Amino acid sequence: MSPRKPTPTPQGYYRVEKAVVILGLAEDENDTTGRRWLRDGANRKKNDPRGRPFPHSRLNGQLVFSDADLAEIYAMHRNAPTRRGRPRGSRVIGSSVISPQQEPETPARELQNAA
């Protein structure tokens, strides 16, 4: 069985491997950095809580991105905040809730406030 040759991509359209290089997410086409992010973004549903899907086209079942698509994706994420981890919440000490900015009162302070 002969290996499948990749189908040629029209001028001005790029597959995922080349698109991540153009967006600056990967060093070369052999680098896999950013491919999953680009594919997941293109495969999002319309009402996805993570945001709207990336503009793209499909040729012969392959994801392809035009120059205009890549410019729009870049504009969508140019100054996007990095949301990593959980937001800081409040801590529960004993039966009282203390926000992250407050310090717990020591018993000596409580006695001074009561006097």
pLDDT tens string 87-105? 666 666 666 665 666 555 5
Q: Mean pLDDT check: name the lowest of 3-12, 13-22, 40-49, 69-78.
A: 3-12
Q: Average of pLDDT values for 27-39?
A: 89
* Whether the model pTM is above 0.75: no
Distance of CA 79 to the CA centre of its chain: 12
